[in-house]
Structure 1
Amino acid sequence: MDKRLLDILCCPVSKTPVRPASRTELEAANRAIGAGTLQTVGGQAVTARIEEALITVDGKVIYRVEDGIPVMLPEEGIGTLQLGDLPAA
């Protein structure tokens, strides 16, 4: 993802900056998806694997990136408290 874009993107709710999610963070999210336990902030079940994502620098919310486009809608965020095995950033 373009560094200039990352420099201006932030969580639409908290205004916290975001960074690319690490491989281990994506793996933790995908394990929860596989178990059928992951939901968006809006309450929708997440059923598709996440290949690329942004995460707030405080590690609280994940936003999917689909076809290179960040999905930064508040209701599409994924709270990381659902991920008991999320590695420390």
Structure 2
Amino acid sequence: MEKEFSVQNPLGIHSRPAGALMKKAKAFTCDITIAKGDKSVNAKSIVGLLSLEMRYGDKVTVKASGEQEEEAVNELGTMLESVLE
């Protein structure tokens, strides 16, 4: 399953929100990736998330496969579309 989301944090996804995304992703047993452009990373890797350099307004795709994939995509998408501190 995959869905596209728009980053809504005015400061983009810097270390604190990236850590929150990683922590949420690790709560799921399914495989989760986040893609921006032609680059795709493991959502359970903070280094990977930071390497995407997600900025305000960027379109990113969250993909998951396995148990709880729909819940994982929706929860990470909600985080991406909120203003994370």
TM range (shorter): 0.3 to 0.5
Specify the structure having the higher radius of gyration (Cα): 1
The TM-score normalised by the length of structure 2 is 0.36
Larger fraction in helix: 2
The TM-score normalised by the length of structure 1 is 0.35
